[in-house]
A and B are shown apart, each in its own frame.
Chain A
Amino acid sequence: DIQMTQSPSSLSASLGDRVTITCRASQSISSYLNWYQQKPGKAPTLLIYDASSLQSGVPSRFSGSGSGTDFTLTISSLQPEDLATYYCQQSYSTSWTFGQGTKVEIK
């Protein structure tokens, strides 16, 4: 299996802050990298696919970048509704894998 490692595991930031979450793959996955948001008690939702494509309906403050093994999810200006856990996921191999998640809290 391809291992996905996210950092940090959790973070606390103030409203309006720029937030960056990193995801590293154990081998090159080209741009087959997706980001999901999971709010407490809810099913996950897709934010970014193919490393940098914004899913329809997702606010433009979310963006993704990277290719190969290193990827980044950025929230340009943190909002109260962004309280959630964020997961990266690779779909390069026939067996997909998720990162362990990054919990974002509001200071």
Chain B
Amino acid sequence: EVQLVQSGAEVKKPGESLKISCKGSGYSFTSYWIGWVRQMPGKGLEWMGIIYPGDSDTRYSPSFQGQVTISADKSISTAYLQWSSLKASDTAMYYCARADGGNSHFDYWGQGTLVTVSS
């Protein structure tokens, strides 16, 4: 059974760093892309970027380029989304999702990680 299990909710202060994770199981982790999607409170879905763990090819939305870093450790089948300096506006639910190609669709989703940034 394909599963994407995300790390737990986080509460952080502005300026702090954060790395959240998404662990894949039940499939060949290096043969599929993993993407990240933001959903701010009461708002729609925003595509942030995507990584191919097989060769670490990474693509970012222009809106998120330079604001976050997407990475993956194929040895432990885990993808990451990280911030070096959080802002209050980063408060959101973050989902990871699997895609079978760079021009494909998200067929499996993680349960989401809620990130709250507040002083």
A binds B: yes
Binding site for B on A (CB under 8 A): 1, 32, 34, 36, 38, 43-46, 49-50, 55, 85, 87, 89, 91-92, 94-101
Contact residues of B: prevailing secondary structure = strand
Contact, CB under 8 Å: A95 / B47 = yes
Kindly report which residue of chain A lies nearest to residue B101, judged by CB atoms: A91
Q: B-side interface residues toward A, CB under 8 Å?
A: 35, 37, 44-47, 50, 59-63, 95, 97, 99, 102-107, 109-112
Chain A residues, Cβ within 8 Å of B63: 1
From A45, A50, A101, B44 is in contact (CB under 8 Å) with: A101
Specify which chain B residues have a CB less than 8 angstroms from the CB of A1 in the assembled complex: 61-63
Given contacts A43-B112, A95-B59, contact A100 B44 (CB under 8 A): yes
**A96 touching B95, Cβ below 8 Å:** no
A32, A36, A44, A95 interface centre (most CB from chain B within 10 Å): A95
Inter-subunit contact A43/B44 (CB<8 Å): no
B111 lies within 8 A of A96 (CB): no
What is the CA–CA distance of A98 and B60 in the complex, to the nearest angstrom? 14
Q: How far is the CB of A87 from chain B (nearest CB, A)?
A: 5
Indicate which residue in B60, B104, B112 contacts A95 across the interface (CB closer than 8 Å). B60
Interchain residue pairs with CB less than 8 A apart (13): A36-B106, A44-B45, A44-B109, A46-B105, A46-B106, A55-B107, A85-B44, A95-B60, A96-B47, A97-B47, A97-B61, A98-B45, A98-B46
